[in-house]
Amino acid sequence: MIHQALAMGHTQTPEAVLFWVLGPLAVLSALAMLMVKKAVHSAILLAWIMITLAIFYIAQDAAFLGIVQVVVYTGAVMMLFLFILMLVGVESSESLTETIKGLRPIAIVAALGFGGLLVSLIGHATIGRAYVGLVDANAGGNVQALAGLLFSKYVWAFEVVSALLITAALGAMVLAHNHRLIQRPTQRDLATARFRGTSLARAAGLPGPGVYALHNAVDVPALLPDGTPSQASISATLKARGDVIDSRPFQLSAIENEEE
């Protein structure tokens, strides 16, 4: 039993108090993170869990990690998450009713099973060695010790990680950077084009979605005065997604014909 193996390494009471307060809180927060509707709330809860973990690190003689956890993770990474959440829409929330049939009960069973099994297994695990503690390892200071490892034993990994960072930067560039390939026409250009164009039909500007339609929806093209649908009235994104509803049933001419 791991407990016996670690018996000699019992920690001081303050850490126990800390653990028993923050540990359950972290787990509960994690559960809450699953339950809340709004993504932002999840993010805040996650940030809280991370801070908890940072405290745990510090409690476990990993002061450097604790700080880095707060700075890098909670500070930088979670901010990034929040940024993106804002981009996507802070108010966005998802309905918690499950759409994939049967997944919810399976997930609950899986959660109980997986968690239970893990806890049970850890309960049964023993470590062949004695509990050591980091007093020796951290003798020269945690940061120094870590630095010693990082820059000698793990220097290769350390160097290689830089490639990862560049990849990330490059990836973000590729996917997010929207450089101008062709000069966008200015408003003046457009206006000129409208009136100097071959037809004055569009001089009045584009029709709004569903303006003349019998069906008031964004995915149905508006009807031009002559009754034909205006493809220009539909968002190009919708078209690309194939979400455009066929406008024929809504055409005036078609309906008139039906009545006759």
Residue 22 near residue 52 (C-beta atoms within 8 A): yes
* CB of 52 or CB of 251, closer to another protein: 52
* Closer to another protein by Cβ: residue 34 or 255: 34
Given a contact cutoff of 8 angstroms between Cβ atoms, the answer to whether 122 and 2 are in contact is yes
Residues within window 72-101 making contact with another protein, judged by CB under 8 A: 72-73, 76-77, 80-81, 84-85, 87-88, 92, 94, 98-100
Q: Which is nearer to another protein, 28 or 255 (CB)?
A: 28
Determine the interface stretch with another protein among 12-20, 190-198, 202-210, 250-258 (rule: CB under 8 A): 12-20
What is Dmax (Cα atoms) for the chain? 95
Interface with another protein, residue 8, by CB under 8 A: no
Residue 26 engages another protein in binding (rule: CB under 8 A): yes
Per-residue binder mask for another protein (CB under 8 A), 110-149, x = binder: xx-xxx-xxxxxx-xxxxxx-xxxx-xxxxxxx-xxx-xx
CA distances from 157 to 137, 152, 154, 161, 207 (A): 21, 10, 5, 6, 58
Residue closer to another protein (CB basis): 37 or 225: 37
The encoded tokens of residue 128 equal: 């062949």
191 interacts with another protein by CB under 8 A: no
Residue numbers 208-227 binding another protein by CB under 8 A? none
**Does residue 204 interact with another protein by CB under 8 A?**
no
Contacts of 60 (CB under 8 A, 6+ apart): 134
Q: Give the span between the Cα atoms of 55 and 52, in whole angstroms.
A: 5
The residue (of 150 and 214) whose beta carbon lies closer to another protein is 150
Query: According to CB under 8 A, which one of 48, 64, 223, 229 is a site residue for another protein?
Result: 64
We find the least distance from the C-beta atom of residue 254 to another protein, in angstroms, to be 27
According to the binding rule CB under 8 A, does residue 50 interact with another protein?
yes
Burial 174-213 (b: 16+ CB within 10 A, else e): eeeeeeeeeeeeeeeeeeeebeeeeeeeeeeeebebbebb
H-state helical runs in 149-222: 155-176, 187-196
Cα gap 52→125, rounded to integer Å: 26
Tokens 């609950």 belong to 108
Q: Which span sits near another protein by CB under 8 A: 108-116, 204-212, 219-227, 252-260?
A: 108-116
Which residues 29-48 are close enough to bind another protein by CB under 8 A?
A: 30-31, 33-34, 39, 42-43, 46
